[in-house]
């Protein structure tokens, strides 16, 4: 059992006994002083390049699956609750914005957030719209029917299983599954957005906080290393760019011996 799973289960048992103690059903909480293991999830924090997701999109003829992959990888929606809550009334075509129902924080007075319909997403959204039946309410109408519609209608999101089909698509394009399939796509979306926009803007679009984003979502990408050795370091001047590029192209391989200073 993974340490993260152990931590979650210990937290649930502790909470259960705290509630029982409050209700005077038990005299003490035997789990209150139980130490939880420290969790290092760095080995499960994976950046999934957009190129991989585009290949997944090309590998499926299903319009709703194309949109689902795009909307998670480029806008970071939480699967399955947020995509499956979307209705056509949530789409502002003129402003190219999408109102995302926010079941996770609805109880805290934040029933939705507004995100931009970015260019990689819009064509897939338009394709699903063109194929929609008159009077159709939910954007992912057919997937909601296939993937436990009753569970989705009742908010039982844990019963909506999209994992197996995604695994089949990943195998179809010859890739290996990555840890935390859907969460890694959401995290990769936030990583790319932060590279383009201020963090406070991105967290508003993602529906999380700067602290949560930094700890659980943001990744170091291959592009970060490339930018570090090729972009301007001399006040952004053209000469600085040439110096950086020349340095990157002419750095000699390290010798087998260390020089002493």
**10-14, 56-60, 109-113, 159-163 — which one is most confidently predicted on average?**
56-60
Residues 152 and 175 in one domain: yes
| Residue numbers of the domain that contains 19 | 3-40
Report residue 140: phi and psi, to 5°.
-95, 55
Res 63 pLDDT > 80: yes
Residues 67 and 139 in one domain: yes
Residues 25 and 79 in one domain: no
Which of the residue ranges 81-95, 134-148, 165-179 would you say has the lowest mean pLDDT? 134-148
Res 178 pLDDT > 90: yes
Residues 146 and 21 in one domain: no
Predicted local distance difference test score (pLDDT) of residue 180? 92
What's 101's domain CATH number?
Answer: 1.10.443.10
> What value does the mean pLDDT take over residues 168-177?
97
Q: Is 92 helix (H, G, I), strand (E, B) or coil?
A: strand
Residues 77 and 182 in one domain: yes
Query: Is 198 a member of any domain?
Result: no
Higher pLDDT, 235 or 228: 228
Sign of CA dihedral 90, 78, 169, 148: negative
Q: Which of 156, 191, 226 is the last residue of a domain?
A: 191
Describe the strand order of the beta sheet including 112-116 as a list of residue ranges.
Answer: 91-92, 97-101, 112-116
- How far apart (Å, rounded) are the C-alpha atoms in residues 157 and 79? 9
pLDDT band for 193, please (50, 70, 90 cuts): very high
What single DSSP character describes residue 218? -
Residues 108 and 126 in one domain: yes
pTM for the complete prediction? 0.68
Query: Is 261 a member of any domain?
Result: no
Residues 18 and 116 in one domain: no
- How far apart (Å, rounded) are the C-alpha atoms in residues 99 and 80? 16
Res 134 pLDDT > 90: yes
- In this structure, the chain runs to a length of 261
Q: Is 167 helix (H, G, I), strand (E, B) or coil?
A: helix
pLDDT digits (tens, 9 = 90+) for 44-56: 679 999 999 999 9
Predicted local distance difference test score (pLDDT) of residue 260? 47
Residues 57 and 148 in one domain: yes
Predicted local distance difference test score (pLDDT) of residue 35? 72
Q: pLDDT averaged over the chain?
A: 80
pLDDT band for 255, please (50, 70, 90 cuts): low
Higher pLDDT, 11 or 236: 11
Q: Which of 134, 167, 191 is the last residue of a domain?
A: 191
Query: Is 217 a member of any domain?
Result: no
Domains identified in the chain, total number? 2
């Amino acid at each position: 059992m993974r340490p993260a799973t152990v931590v979650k289960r210990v937290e649930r048992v502790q909470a259960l006994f705290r509630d029982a103690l409050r209700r005077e059903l038990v005299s003490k909480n035997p789990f209150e002083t139980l130490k939880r293991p420290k969790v290092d999830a760095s080995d499960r924090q994976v950046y999934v390049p957009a190129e991989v997701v585009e290949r997944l999109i090309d590998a499926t003829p299903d319009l709703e699956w194309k949109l689902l992959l795009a909307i998670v990888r480029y806008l970071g929606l939480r699967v399955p609750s947020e995509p499956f809550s979307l209705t056509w009334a949530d789409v502002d075509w003129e402003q190219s914005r999408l109102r995302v129902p926010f079941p996770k924080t609805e109880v805290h007075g934040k029933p939705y957030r507004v995100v931009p319909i970015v260019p990689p997403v819009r064509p897939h959204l338009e394709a699903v719209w063109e194929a929609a039946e008159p009077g159709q309410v939910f954007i992912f109408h057919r997937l909601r029917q296939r993937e436990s519609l009753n569970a989705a209608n009742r908010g039982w999101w844990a019963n909506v299983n999209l994992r197996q089909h995604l695994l089949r698509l990943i195998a179809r394009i010859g890739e290996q599954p990555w840890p935390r399939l859907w969460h890694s796509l959401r995290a990769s979306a936030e990583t790319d957005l932060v590279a383009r926009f201020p963090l406070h803007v991105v967290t508003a679009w993602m529906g999380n906080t700067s602290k949560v984003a930094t700890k659980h979502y943001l990744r170091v990408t291959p592009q970060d290393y490339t930018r570090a050795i090729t972009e301007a370091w001399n006040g952004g001047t053209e000469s600085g760019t040439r110096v950086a590029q020349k340095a990157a192209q002419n750095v000699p391989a390290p010798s087998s011996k260390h020089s002493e200073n």
